[in-house]
Amino acid sequence: MTQYTELRRELGTLTTEAFRPELAEIDRLSTLEIARTMNAEDATVPAAVASQLPAISAAIDAIAERMARGGRLIYAGAGTAGRLGVLDASECPPTFNTTPGREVVGLIAGGPDAMVTSVEGAEDRVDLAVADLAGLRITPDDTVVGISASGRTPYALGAVQHARAAGALTVGLSCNAGSPLAAAAEHGIEVVVGPELVVGSTRLKSGTAQKLVLNMLSTITMIRLGKTYGSLMVDVRASNEKLRARSRRIIWLATGAGDAEIEGALAAAGGEVKPAILALLGGVDAATAARLLAAAGGHLRAALASAAAR
């Protein structure tokens, strides 16, 4: 028996790799029929995610607790899973004003080149995961989320095992039940979406499920950390014209202030939305707003309460 025979047998046990006889002649269907079939498959993903909400919520609370102490949220995966982690990490700075590469980090097997080109064999290298995490100097306040549709990818599994040994919080996100990845992590999240439309193409339903879960992990963690005020993105980084306009709209939605007041508050706050809102709603100057926010750990509601008590 060769290593490939054993691996083939193992893949045959995975739900994500299952063959579906009813789709054996899907290529004979019209484009519209294929699109309807694929859309119907995709519609099942949210329910699969919903079944894991208690596990997802528990992971988020643990992540937020550590990030509040200065820890980082670190994603580690290979292929599609790795790309989704890098994507989620890269979207946090403009959305929540996190420091690029410092608070939410995405690691992909094979490094940055693997974002656009397959790096053969990288996903099989536990040593690459260990080296990538060693370069980040993992601490017990950090969280490492291993992402793998199969739940057995050596890079993701190795990252979780190394991080846990270093005392960091670990989360294993997979799309198969009873996965080694979930077993290795403190928080296992197994979103079982079933066999794919195209056999083994886990960039489909599995990728969609992973994206939904990563959205939750980062977004709800940021809400817990005070990065929003209600549903308003008050820590937005206004790095382009659209975001500058969005900043002003967010201040208007929060305060109802006129354009001149908004511009004045933004200018005094150095372009930062959160202190501008606090200054307008709390009736304080920019320096006081900054001080109250710092004392409240960046939570605008708490800072507003402090301003009202002055």
Cβ neighbours for 153, distance < 8 A, ≥ 6 positions apart: 77, 78, 81, 109, 123, 181
CB 265 within 8 A of CB 276: yes
Q: Kindly list the catalytic residues.
A: 91, 123
| Residue 295 structure tokens | 């004392």
Report how far residue 138's alpha carbon sits from residue 170's, in angstroms, rounded to the nearest whole number: 12
CA distances from residue 185 to 69, 163, 190 in whole angstroms, order as listed: 21, 9, 12
Report how far residue 150's alpha carbon sits from residue 164's, in angstroms, rounded to the nearest whole number: 20
CB 233 within 8 A of CB 83: no
CB 293 within 8 A of CB 300: yes
